[in-house]
Amino acid sequence: MGSVPPDWDLGGFDAWLGGRSAATRKAYLSDLGAFADWMSRSGVDGPAGVDRLHLRRYLASLGTRKLARATIARKAAALRCYFSWQVRQGRLGSDPARSLRAPSGGGRLPRVLSTGEVTSLLSAEAETPVDRRDLAVLELLYAAGLRVSELCGLDRGDIDLRGRTVTVLGKGAKQRRVPVHDAAVAALAAWFEHGRDDMEGPPEAAFVNRRGGRLGPRDVRRILDRRSASPTHPHALRHTYATHLLDGGADLRVVQELLGHSSLATTQVYTHVSKERLRSVYGGTHPRA
């Protein structure tokens, strides 16, 4: 942000994004900084000089760099958000990014772990405090379908072992309460009773790392790297949770509530995943398939 001309006021935009997650704020500021840098090559040093053609050319240039469609869609969302804010602030008379279109974030279906892969991931011995933490983290991600940022932000008081629920602060500061199963409760109890107090860190934090801080997304990725037989992103456990629920007959709107999706359309991607799994099973088992 330091090299971006002051007219862009990315500091003010960052403050306005206060209700968004830390990851979203960081991504949007990075996206706007990259756009400002791109505009500076055309001699435009502030948002007042931007028109819709600039925006369309910018998105087209991202496509030529073969960025993922989801990445371009996020950058378009950042631009829409930023210019809407500029209009609300009274700095612009019209919004050049209004209804700005970008490729959808769809495309590749999310990876879903098989039941065997999940069992293998969660069956390792937990003999040390770090082992117990790792197992509790993975059990909870799969038991409750949490986003990694949601898990890392949990405090001890958010986890009710007796009631078998977790209270989560999701996107847009929306709170939801999610049930968890007995295996996850057992792993969490083992961590809290025979591991958490052996590791330094903020006393209120549910999960901490070896450096004495709150567990972060990179720490969770390292846990999976150590325990998974094949490369697995932490978000795959959320995809797996949703897909396995639907495969088991759960109602789509119930899954929407459990995941904390504001739109049912976001949840519907998992119905496509389930259909792909059904086709795969059918193709591998039917005698005439």
Kindly list the catalytic residues: 147, 171, 235, 238, 261, 270
C-alpha 7/C-alpha 132 separation (Å) is 50
Where residue 260 falls (left for φ over 0; alpha for ψ -120 to 50; beta otherwise) is left
Write the CB contacts of 50 (distance below 8 Å, at least 6 apart in sequence): 39, 44, 83, 96
Q: CA-CA distance, 170 to 128, in Å (whole number)?
A: 31
Spatial distance between the Cα atoms of 195 and 201, rounded to a whole number of angstroms: 12
Q: What's the one-letter identity of residue 65? A: R
Structure tokens at 184: 């996850």
